[in-house]
């Protein structure tokens, strides 16, 4: 497309017919302030690290225990971990995500990572507290109430123990993963977490390759999750770390790749700039494989609606959302949420939008067409 005429550049009274200039979108002080707030964190460049092959529980549908990564020989040499982090820092990585299988079992390795790269997050089941001097954000996975956790994760009194470990801990963000089976019970879990002052974001179960079990979402459960998440957003404006656009982006019949184009190396051949160039997913033996590299390896890409994936994929599509004020507000809400979830000390602002906006280029799926209206 070539040069636009002045008429095309000028925002018309009907924004669907006009083309908005970025500077005109930013002329709204509310948008401008949020843009200036979030863009300060554009320096964050992530990679992820499996810290160990061990875990203290076995969950149904766990992505870690799929594929080859679980079988590598674990590197327990702290000097090797320190050297890896130094190399990562040298090549521009500013943010670590410590994940599989259960990082809390190897706190010394987590500490080494934190000492070299001070921005990061740890994904944990929360049953063993990570020492406070490892000052990363801590994401505690919640898959339902205690009865469901016992059935799906084989752990007793899970929520109670998670809260006991992380109540009042400013690092903690509880991550409720909606599966096909646990949507309704989120209300009792949210009540319990909010009563204990815990912050909560939500995740969508994203099936590992080959998984066709009862946790996998279908059209009905996606719709149900959407309605439920919208209720939660109204009911828990303080504790709930998400926005309408998070809900819209993660509850579509299409996964994130179909909606936005996944930017992780596993699905992105380009090494020119961005995640395709910089992102690595290290296994516990400190090796990595570009063909497998994404934040949740061995997830079925068609079914991926994972919150961690979205944080990178949706955020990276800045350009597609800078089309009009409403779409840009949706993107800003999403990025503001992602930063509050992932960055220590970042305070989430009030969401700019109070209604659903669809990902650019997509319409509401028919069963949800009524949700397009303002709440």
Among 2, 168, 361, 366, binds other proteins (CB under 8 A): 2
Among 27, 36, 42, 188, binds other proteins (CB under 8 A): 42
State how far the alpha carbon of 228 is from the alpha carbons of 95, 244, 247, 248, 365, in Å: 32, 12, 10, 12, 17
Binding mask 302-331 for other proteins (x = CB under 8 A): -------------xx-xxx-x---------
Rounded Cα gap, residues 168 and 60, in angstroms: 29
Rounded Cα gap, residues 102 and 57, in angstroms: 9
Pick the closer one to other proteins by CB: 15 or 145.
15
Number of Cβ within a 10 Å radius of residue 243: 28
Is residue 67 packed enough to be buried (19+ CB in 10 Å), middle (13-18) or exposed (0-12)? middle
- Per DSSP, what are the bridge partners of residue 172? 138
Window contacting other proteins (CB under 8 A); options: 37-45, 238-246, 289-297, 300-308 = 37-45
State how far the alpha carbon of 57 is from the alpha carbons of 150, 158, 208, in Å: 10, 11, 18
Residue 9 touching other proteins (CB under 8 A): yes
Residue 219 touching other proteins (CB under 8 A): no
Residue 27 touching other proteins (CB under 8 A): no
* Minimum distance, C-beta of residue 262 to other proteins, in the bound complex (Å): 13
Pick the closer one to other proteins by CB: 149 or 337.
337
Among 73, 86, 89, 92, binds other proteins (CB under 8 A): 92
* Minimum distance, C-beta of residue 93 to other proteins, in the bound complex (Å): 11
Q: Are 205 and 217 in contact (CB under 8 A)?
A: yes
**Beta strand pairing status for 120-124 and 137-142?**
parallel
Among 113, 121, 183, 275, binds other proteins (CB under 8 A): 275
Return the residue matching tokens 């009862």.
214
Q: Are 368 and 163 in contact (CB under 8 A)?
A: no
Interface residues toward other proteins, by CB under 8 A: 1-6, 9, 21-23, 39, 42-43, 45, 92, 263, 270, 272-275, 277-278, 315-316, 318-320, 322
């Amino acid at each position: 497309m070539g040069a636009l005429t002045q008429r095309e550049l000028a925002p018309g009274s009907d924004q669907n017919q006009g083309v908005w200039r970025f500077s005109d979108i930013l002329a709204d002080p509310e948008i401008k302030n949020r843009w200036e707030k979030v863009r300060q964190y554009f320096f964050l460049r992530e990679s992820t690290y499996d810290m160990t092959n061990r875990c203290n529980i076995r969950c149904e549908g766990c992505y870690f225990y799929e594929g080859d990564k679980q079988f590598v020989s674990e590197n327990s040499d702290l000097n090797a971990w320190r050297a890896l982090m130094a190399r990562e820092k040298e090549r521009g990585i500013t943010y670590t995500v410590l994940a599989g299988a259960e990082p809390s079992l190897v706190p010394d390795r987590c500490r080494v990572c934190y000492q070299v790269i001070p921005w990061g997050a740890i994904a944990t089941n929360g049953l063993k507290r990570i020492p406070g001097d490892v000052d990363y954000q801590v994401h505690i996975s919640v898959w339902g109430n205690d009865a469901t956790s016992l059935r799906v994760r084989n752990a007793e009194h899970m929520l109670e123990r998670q809260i006991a470990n992380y109540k009042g801990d400013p690092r903690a963000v509880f991550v409720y993963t909606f599966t096909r089976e646990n949507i309704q019970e989120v209300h009792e879990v949210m009540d319990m977490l909010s009563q204990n002052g815990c912050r909560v974001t939500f995740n969508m179960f994203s099936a590992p390759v080959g998984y066709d079990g009862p946790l996998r979402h279908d059209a009905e459960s996606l719709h149900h999750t959407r309605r439920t998440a919208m209720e939660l957003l109204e009911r828990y404006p303080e504790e709930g770390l998400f926005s309408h656009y998070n809900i819209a982006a993660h509850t579509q019949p299409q996964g994130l790749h179909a909606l936005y184009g996944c930017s992780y190396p596993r699905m992105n051949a380009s090494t020119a700039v961005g995640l395709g160039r910089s992102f690595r997913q290290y296994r516990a033996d400190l090796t990595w494989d570009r063909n497998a590299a994404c934040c949740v390896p061995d997830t079925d890409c068609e079914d991926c609606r994972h919150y961690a994936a979205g944080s990178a994929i949706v955020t990276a599509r800045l350009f597609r959302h800078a089309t009009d004020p409403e779409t840009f507000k949706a993107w800003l809400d999403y990025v503001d949420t992602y930063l509050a979830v992932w960055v220590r000390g970042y305070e989430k602002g009030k969401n700019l939008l109070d209604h659903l906006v669809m990902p650019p280029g997509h319409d509401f799926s028919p069963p949800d067409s009524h949700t397009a209206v303002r709440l």
